[in-house]
Structure 1
Amino acid sequence: MLMHDLHALHRPLGSTGLLVSPLGLGTVKLGRDQGVKYPNGFTIPDDHEARRLLDLARELGINLLDTAPAYGISEQRLGPLLRGQRQDWVIVSKVGEEFDNGLSHFDFSKAHTRRSVERSLKRLETDYIDLVLVHSNGDDLSILRDETVYETLAELKQAGLVRGFGFSGKTVEGGLLALEHGDCAMVTYNLGEQQELPVLDYAARHAKGILIKKALASGHICLESGVDPVRASFELIFAHPGVGSAIVGTINPLHLAHNVAMAAEVIMGTTIGNTAQGE
């Protein structure tokens, strides 16, 4: 049986208690068109286009949205766009990185972390955020060892403002330390970049959550002719038992539908294959 949506394929994100679709929708392109690492330029969708994209994602069984304060006005737009739908979405946001006047700057202090989460709650028009990740500047170990951001997120979780917390980093060591003390790691894992595989392995062994960023290498994948790069990417990603969800950032409805159909086909094929082997 071939499926073309993800409704029946939601899975636990580690032991967070969150059930997520295997594909999540990244929303940087709803809020920012400067300093983004895509091969082609794009126009930020207007409210009508953004609403249609979100409606399509929901119809296709996507329930995971990835946003961040550093994604320009993404959070501010999502609040009004998602009114009346809060129970339909698992929202992931970030702390640590701010993006102003075309430049990023970072603040991992306790005060900024609290302010940032409170601001995200207000912008997203919600009482809680499902998952808050630390947006690393690349110095993963220093952030986790020397800054107060992680313990502050643990306090905010205790207070019920966030349901889970974790780390979007750039190193294996950072990912492993982040999972040791948090709920989830967001890692780069695609056909061209698999250095963070040990983080996925650790997560699978310890029931921790994994979100994949740059799943399609930000649109830069090139393979020999005749090989569908999206299929090949998803075959790699969803073969790993540690993966909860892969974030795709498209604002093209046709691309989104294609990605969903391909992910469903790959996951169902993997499931059927595993079942057959177990019989």
Structure 2
Amino acid sequence: MSFMRPLGNTGLTVSALGLGTVKIGRDKGVKYPNGFTIPDDRAVTELLAQALDLGINLIDTAPAYGHSEVRLGKLMSARQDWIIVTKVGEEFDNDSGESRFDFTPEHVRTSVERSLQRLNTDYLDCVLVHSDGNDLDIISQGTLEALNELKKAGLIRATGMSTKTVEGGIATLQQADMAMVTYNLQHHEEVPVIEHAASHSKGILIKKAFASGHLAGDIADPVQESLNQILGTAGVGSIIAGTINPKHLQENVAKARIACGE
């Protein structure tokens, strides 16, 4: 499996490693082991250029990532170089540091229109529902149908959900193009979703591949071990890894390429 891979049957080709951008837009209510400072515009611009140079074409953002979408819309170079993933459903208040959720079809439409404006684009490659954990309840509200209508209208190329349950992941794949699931050395519970995707040509993105920086244990190189396991699993399109550290980005891509046999 090469570093560039198909994302299920979406027609999109993605890099095995995608850039997560929570840290360029939000520093409240995040669960990382170490504190960090939100980088300035110049640092973000350099990080995006570095990602492209390293062969990354996938970028992951969300309204819940504070100012992330707005900053990307302003600082991204050529739009056509990027596969943009954003979300609907979770809203974040930068002042209070609190999240709230709204999965109604009306909010889906409003949120997508706002993301198009913020990201300075007339289409979004992938839009995922940002689940609060009640995956099946969200689906029953017509949230995925609302995304699929926007796809028919040409505003979105692929739809799905960032899920938290096996049942929710499989139900999502039955109605949408892709799911984003947690998978790492310590968390294998959602592998049945990946297997379902592989057998039905659906897309899979992986979150928390490095357990948000909490991967420990007695493994010599837990990052390489994680990448080997995840990228060697049939059905996996890409791992979303959030970093604002240029050195980490370079190391992660080098290790991802090794895991892909390059």
The TM tier, using the shorter chain, reads over 0.9
Q: Is the 8 A contact 2:182 2:206 kept in 1?
A: yes
Q: Distance in 2 between matches of 1:235 and 1:264?
A: 10
1:90 paired to 2:83 = yes
1:268 match: secondary structure: coil
TM-score, normalisation: structure 2:
0.97
Post-superposition offset of 1:199: 0.2
Asked if 1:132 is matched to 2:127, the reply is: yes
Cα deviation, residue 148, structure 1: 1.9
Deviation per CA, 1:200-237, whole angstroms, max 9, x where unpaired? 00000000000000011100001216x10110100110
Structure 1 position 144 matched with structure 2 position 136:
no
Query: Which among 240, 251, 256 is matched to residue 249 of structure 2?
Result: 256
Q: 2:261 aligns with which of 252, 263, 268?
A: 268
The alpha carbon displacement at 1:169 in A equals 1.0
Pair 1:205 & 2:222 matched: no
Q: TM-score under structure 1 normalisation?
A: 0.91
**Which residue of 2 is the match for residue 123 of structure 1?**
118
- Pairing 1:246–2:239 present: yes
After TM superposition, list the pairs within 5 Å mapping 1:1-279 onto structure 2. Answer: 9-83=3-77, 85-100=78-93, 101-145=96-140, 147-224=141-218, 227-268=220-261
Query: 2:248 and 2:76 mapped to 1: Cα distance?
Result: 22
How far apart are 1:29 and its partner, in Å?
0.3
Deviation at 1:42, TM superposition (A): 0.2
Spell out, residue by residue over 1:39-87, the C-alpha distance to the aligned partner (whole angstroms, 9 max, x if none): 000000000000111110000000000000000000000001114x110
Cα distance in 1 between the residues matched to 2:176 and 2:58: 19
State the SS of the aligned residue for 1:203.
helix
Equivalent-residue separation in structure 1 for 2:28 and 2:186 (angstroms): 24
Question: Contact 2:3–2:256 (CA<8 Å) still a contact in 1?
Answer: no
Q: Which residue of 2 aligns with 1:5?
A: none
| Distance across 2 between alignment mates of 1:191 and 1:70 | 26
Following TM superposition, the consecutive aligned residue runs of length 4 or more in structure 1 with deviations greater than 4 angstroms are none
Cα deviation for residue 9 of structure 1 reads 2.4
* Aligned amino acid, residue 235 of structure 1: N
Alpha-carbon separation, structure 2, partners of 1:110 and 1:247 = 26
8 Å contact 2:181–2:207 — kept in the other structure?
Answer: yes
Identical-residue share of aligned pairs (%) = 61
Aligned AA (2:126): L
Tell me the number of residue pairs that the alignment of Structure 1 and Structure 2 aligns: 260
The letter for the 2-side match of 1:104 is S
What SS does the aligned partner of 2:64 have?
coil
Tell me the distance in 1 between the aligned counterparts of 2:43 and 2:83: 21
3-state DSSP of counterpart to 1:121: helix
**Secondary structure at the counterpart of residue 120 of structure 1:** helix
User: 2:259 and 2:48 mapped to 1: Cα distance?
Assistant: 23
Unmatched runs of 5 consecutive residues or more in structure 1: 1-7, 270-279
One-letter identity of the residue aligned with 1:107: D
The aligned amino acid for 1:137 is D
RMSD of Structure 2 on Structure 1 (CA):
1.2
CA contact (8 A) 2:15 2:57 kept: yes
